[in-house]
Amino acid sequence: MQQFNSLASPETRSDEVEAARRFQFAIHHVGINCGDPETGLETARVLCALFGLTPRTLPGISTFADPFIECMHKKGRGAMGHICVTTTDVDGAMAHLASKGVEFIDETKKFDEQGHCTFVYLKGELSGFAFHLQKAR
């Protein structure tokens, strides 16, 4: 399994700041592996009550505490869950990250009508979280 720790340098370089601007990376949501539908629903309900969020269920998959927490009904990718990072250019972001040694899980890729990648998981985890890129809407 790829470990992201080996990719990091002790300092943020100017080209990293420029890449963040170019690709407009942003955290979209955090997915929590709750293990079963009841725990996922209850976790979402508590988060909604605490923070004034709106529950939204994707049957058989998860319940969101919209807009930023996804409570998975079964164990998803990542020991703890996943972090969704949006970008304006998934293909470009993938090329940028690949140049740093990041690999991707090809079977997770989704594409739009023009053939551009709109979704993909990175191989590996960081502190128990998997990461996926998603096209910003």
pLDDT in tens, 105-135: 999 999 999 999 999 999 999 999 999 999 9
Task: Supply 58's token pair.
Answer: 């994707």
Nearest-angstrom CA–CA distance, 29 and 56: 13
Q: pLDDT at position 13, please?
A: 78
Task: Name 66's bridge partners.
Answer: 54
Instruction: Judge whether 3 and 127 are in contact, CB under 8 Å.
Output: no
Amino acid 107 reads E
Residue 2: pLDDT band (50, 70, 90) is low
- Domains of the chain, each with CATH number or no CATH: 15-33+79-137 (3.30.1900), 36-74 (no CATH)
Q: Rounded to a whole number, what is the distance in angstroms from the first to the last CA of the chain? A: 30
Q: pLDDT at position 134, please?
A: 98
Average pLDDT (18-45) is: 94
Range in 5-9, 55-59, 105-109 with the lowest mean pLDDT: 5-9
Q: Is 7 left (phi over 0), alpha (psi -120 to 50) or beta?
A: alpha
Q: Is 22 left (phi over 0), alpha (psi -120 to 50) or beta?
A: alpha
pTM for the model stands at: 0.89
